């Protein structure tokens, strides 16, 4: 039999535990050895060596390694040891790329591990006869734990004792209302989780009352662990960026091999080149075709974006997910705590006989203050204020909202409890929907009753109940949760009071209306979404009226939009949902299955969907979405594990900030890819044409590699750090299937490549002709190509003119450009190094001509921007 269906004596005997003394230290050690730590099972992590080897699976990297190995073999065969520099340089860059990739992955993994300390980190357990505060991970089956309002449940446990206990189990069951618990309840063996009223479950929280319980399941043997196990088989799908870069690598590999083959064939039939020179020229072309720094540079750009996002409360689990979020066209968000403050706030009060409501403030009327006083006295919830002014709400959120409103009006809970002590009471229960206290006020025994208006009104004998009913309906239509307050005076207080004795013959006092208010920043964030072409959608377990009112206030629900319930969604066929999904902005009373249907309906429309979630039951939907966003504060470990991103402040505005950052990062990646490919295509065309015309290569392999490493990689990394452009959220999201080279980037890359080729060939020809040697031609071509590429990095910063955005607005690019220029000058002018790279000194007039050619790309790019060819 299961723990929930056994009697107390049976399960305590089965677990061999003493409810008074708890387990001994020896028993704890023995059970921990048997059951393991109280943690969800993690997927086996790759070793550092495995992660390092994974970096070499990229097609671009494999081609470079092959070229280096062949070059190394040729050097060894011919014993030209001075030429070892070239293959060694190739291998060094490949290894640096791999080390960088491992470092970035490890950094992201550590950030994710830090999140796991946010869920139930401690527990109060009785061990060796004493109450101890221990790490939740150290709990074992049979531990006796104590729980009270505000505690997280650290493990599945069977109740031994309970007093007015309520547990918030929405993370596990999806129920938005706390579940009432009773240690004495009899539960059927096959009862579903939501009906196991004598059990509390790991990952849930206690909202009301106190309890003593014995741990029955830990780690993967909890109900949360069982659901987490179902997700182990789910594979992570590649993001659009991963697919595009993989595809790009294949294309570049094919181009490189084809170009090498053509050059090799041309060279074999040439009378002016030896086979070795032909091969090295082909290797040069392969190096030119492959931007070997691209994988590492893109990883660095994404990593920088992740670091920016962490500062804005968004923690990314997988680096490429940043780009996916930047492509998001639909954001499906929970209401409570994400769009709202997740804190019930008293906003309206109605005093019997006044005819209208009064807004709650710090200076309410005497009549409202008197209503708040009695309301706060009839509350078990409390608000604790920290030294820094922070508020900790303990207990039922509807009660803490009343307590806080009274506090703001100069009536702190502790003070009024002392002044008007409680002498009796009847706890709230779901049948009566009422709570009652008896307080001594001015020498009289005053019975105060609060609860649902319809239940309370039937017990009142005095008061304008018709007006109160109208006010209740008005408040409810405005999405307020309404509580009624009434009272009476009694001469004597029964020792064991009953509802019949205290909750009849009441005088109606008034109403209080509360709401979980929208976050102030969310209205601006929703407006930003609209401007950016993103549709925000609210998905909540709350009532449709409440959800619609909040959505309307935030701008999510506009004229002509629909708000439907989960039941209405269930009644729709797939075709009906597809036909109406674009009109629906609010889904209320939804189930986890509803969330998955919503995600897939939008995905069938070709949209990139972001979905938020915090509970275990949200995990499948987070997996199904293009980008899953888990809550960092209220979220469960399972939800965080299923998501791509965690919001450490549970705020919708953070998602919008992340979208903005994602768009900026993707724009920067496109700039980097355009810059690298434009320059590398220029190198390919230069070598290819020169071989066809002169049967000579204008560059040696090491010269090309130096250009790619120094004048490509450094500026490219700095270009990836370009600040997000101010108008990035004024553009529509890019389509899901949009290619990396959409918007004319592909054509521009080819034209840029042609421009660099023309300038380099011109420099090569002039150097050969006017300098009188092949080395002079190569030196001229090297200088023109290297320096013009450095300036091109500035041209790629924006589609706007450099003089509009400020030519030196990117400080990191300024430093990178300076470093590149110095490194190029190092091999151009330092004796010994110059010779190793096959370069020579040039006459002064050739340096001047080279400077003129170097400036040509900037002039051409500025003219294109001016006439609108680049936009």
- Residue 611: strand, helix, or coil: strand
Q: Are 97 and 296 in contact (CB under 8 A)?
A: yes
Q: Is 672 exposed, middle or buried (0-12, 13-18, 19+ CB in 10 A)?
A: buried
Q: At how many degrees (to 10) do helices 745-771 and 774-795 cross?
A: 150
Torsion of CA 598, 601, 606, 611, to 10 degrees: 10
Q: Helix (H) and strand (E) counts for the chain? A: 33, 25
Give the C-alpha separation, 44 to 607, whole Å.
Answer: 33
Catalytic residue among 334, 396, 644, 650: 334
| Neighbour tally for 594: CB within 10 Å | 20
E strands, 61-196, are: 122-127, 130-135, 144-148, 156-168, 179-181
Q: Are 30 and 222 in contact (CB under 8 A)?
A: no
Q: Are 475 and 357 in contact (CB under 8 A)?
A: yes
Pairing mode, strands 535-539 and 584-588: parallel
Give the C-alpha separation, 855 to 857, whole Å.
Answer: 6
SS3 content of the chain, % helix, strand, coil (to 5): 55, 15, 30
Give the C-alpha separation, 638 to 171, whole Å.
Answer: 10
State CA 632 to chain mean position distance: 9
Closest CA to 457 of 446, 470, 445: 470
Give the C-alpha separation, 328 to 609, whole Å.
Answer: 6
State CA 778 to chain mean position distance: 50
Instruction: Give the list of residues 6+ apart from residue 226 with CB closer than 8 angstroms, or none.
Output: 220
Give the C-alpha separation, 511 to 514, whole Å.
Answer: 10
- End-to-end Cα spacing for the chain: 70
Closest CA to 371 of 493, 454, 461, 468: 468
State CA 651 to chain mean position distance: 11
Instruction: Give the list of residues 6+ apart from residue 311 with CB closer than 8 angstroms, or none.
Output: none
- Residue 443: strand, helix, or coil: coil
Residue written as token pair 């208010």: 517
Which 8-state DSSP code applies to residue 56? G
**C-alpha triplet 115, 118, 123: angle, nearest 5°:** 145
φ/ψ region of 395 (left if φ > 0, alpha if ψ in -120 to 50, else beta) reads: left
Give the C-alpha separation, 121 to 202, whole Å.
Answer: 12
Q: Does the active-site annotation cover 442?
A: no
Which residues are tagged catalytic?
334
């Amino acid at each position: 039999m299961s723990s929930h269906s056994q009697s107390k004596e049976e399960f305590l005997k089965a677990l061999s535990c003493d409810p008074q003394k708890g387990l001994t230290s020896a028993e704890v050690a023995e059970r921990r050895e048997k059951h393991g730590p109280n943690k969800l099972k993690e997927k086996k992590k790759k070793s550092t060596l495995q992660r390092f080897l994974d970096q070499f699976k990229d097609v671009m990297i494999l081609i470079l390694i092959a070229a280096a190995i062949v070059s190394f073999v040729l050097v060894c065969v011919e014993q030209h040891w001075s030429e070892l520099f070239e293959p060694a340089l190739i291998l060094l860059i490949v290894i640096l790329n791999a080390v960088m990739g491992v470092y970035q992955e490890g950094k992201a993994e550590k950030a994710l591990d830090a999140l796991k300390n946010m869920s139930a980190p401690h527990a109060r357990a009785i061990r060796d006869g004493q109450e101890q505060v221990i790490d939740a991970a150290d709990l074992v089956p049979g531990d006796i734990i104590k729980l009270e309002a505000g505690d997280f449940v650290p493990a599945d446990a069977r109740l031994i004792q309970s007093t007015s206990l309520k547990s918030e189990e929405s993370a596990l069951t999806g129920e938005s209302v706390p579940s009432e618990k009773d240690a004495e309840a009899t539960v059927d063996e096959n009862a579903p989780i939501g009906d196991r009223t004598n059990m509390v479950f790991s990952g849930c929280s206690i909202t009301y009352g106190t309890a003593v319980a014995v741990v029955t399941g830990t780690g993967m043997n909890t109900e949360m662990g069982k659901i987490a196990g179902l997700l182990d088989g789910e594979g992570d799908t590649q993001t659009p960026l991963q697919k595009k870069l993989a595809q790009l690598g294949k294309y570049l590999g094919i181009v490189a091999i084809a170009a090498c083959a053509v050059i090799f064939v041309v060279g074999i039939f040439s009378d002016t080149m030896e086979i070795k020179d032909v091969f090295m020229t082909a290797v040069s072309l392969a190096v030119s075709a492959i931007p070997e720094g691209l994988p590492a540079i893109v990883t660095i750009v994404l990593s920088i974006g992740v670091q920016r996002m962490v500062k804005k409360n968004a923690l990314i689990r997988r680096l490429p997910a940043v780009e996916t979020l930047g492509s998001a066209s639909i954001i499906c968000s929970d209401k409570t705590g994400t769009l709202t403050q997740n804190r019930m706030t008293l906003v309206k009060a109605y005093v019997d006989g006044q005819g209208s409501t009064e807004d709650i403030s710090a200076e309410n009327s005497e009549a409202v203050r008197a209503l708040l006083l009695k309301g706060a006295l009839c509350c078990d919830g409390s608000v604790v204020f920290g030294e820094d002014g922070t508020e900790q709400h303990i207990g039922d959120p509807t009660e803490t909202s009343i307590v806080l409103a009274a506090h703001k009006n100069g009536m702190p809970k502790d003070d009024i409890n002392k002044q008007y002590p409680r002498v009796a009471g009847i706890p709230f229960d779901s049948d009566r929907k009422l709570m009652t206290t008896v307080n001594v006020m001015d020498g009289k025994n005053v019975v105060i009753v609060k609860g649902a208006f319809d239940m309370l009104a039937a017990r009142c004998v005095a008061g304008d109940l018709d007006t109160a009913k109208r006010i209740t309906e008005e408040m409810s239509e405005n999405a307020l949760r309404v509580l009624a307050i009434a009272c009476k005076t009694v001469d004597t207080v029964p020792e064991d009071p009953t509802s019949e004795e205290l909750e009849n013959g009441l005088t109606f006092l008034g109403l209080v209306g509360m709401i979980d208010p929208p976050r102030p920043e969310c209205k601006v964030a929703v407006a930003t979404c609209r401007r950016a072409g993103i549709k925000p959608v609210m998905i909540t377990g709350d009532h449709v009226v409440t959800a619609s009112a909040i959505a309307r206030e935030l701008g999510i629900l506009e004229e002509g939009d629909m708000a439907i319930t989960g039941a209405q969604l269930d009644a729709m066929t797939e075709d009906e949902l597809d036909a109406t999904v674009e009109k629906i902005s609010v889904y209320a009373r939804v189930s986890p299955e509803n969330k998955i249907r919503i995600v897939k309906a939008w995905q069938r429309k070709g949209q990139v969907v972001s979905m938020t979630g915090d509970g275990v039951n949200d995990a499948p939907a987070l997996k199904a979405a293009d980008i899953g966003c888990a809550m960092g504060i209220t979220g469960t470990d399972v939800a965080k594990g299923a998501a791509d991103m965690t919001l450490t402040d549970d705020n919708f505005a953070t998602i919008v900030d992340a979208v903005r950052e994602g768009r900026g990062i993707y724009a920067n990646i496109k700039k980097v890819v355009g810059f690298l490919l434009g320059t590398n295509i220029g190198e390919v065309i230069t070598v290819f044409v020169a071989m066809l015309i002169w049967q000579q290569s204008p560059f040696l392999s090491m010269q090309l590699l130096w250009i790619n490493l120094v004048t490509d990689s450094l500026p490219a990394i700095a270009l990836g750090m370009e600040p997000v452009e101010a108008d990035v959220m004024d553009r529509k999201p890019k389509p899901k299937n949009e290619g990396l080279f959409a918007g004319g980037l592909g054509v521009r890359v080819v034209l840029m490549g042609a421009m660099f080729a023309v300038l380099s060939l011109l420099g090569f020809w002039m150097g050969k002709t006017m300098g009188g040697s092949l080395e002079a031609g190569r030196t001229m071509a090297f200088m023109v190509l290297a320096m013009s590429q450095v300036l091109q990095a500035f041209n790629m910063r924006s589609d706007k003119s450099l003089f509009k955005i400020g030519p030196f607005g990117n400080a990191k690019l300024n430093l990178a450009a300076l470093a590149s220029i110095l490194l190029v000058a190092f091999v151009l002018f330092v004796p010994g190094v110059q010779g190793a790279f096959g370069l020579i000194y040039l006459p002064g007039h050739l340096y001047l001509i080279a400077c003129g050619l170097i400036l040509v790309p900037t002039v051409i790019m500025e003219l294109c921007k001016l006439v609108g060819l680049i936009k």
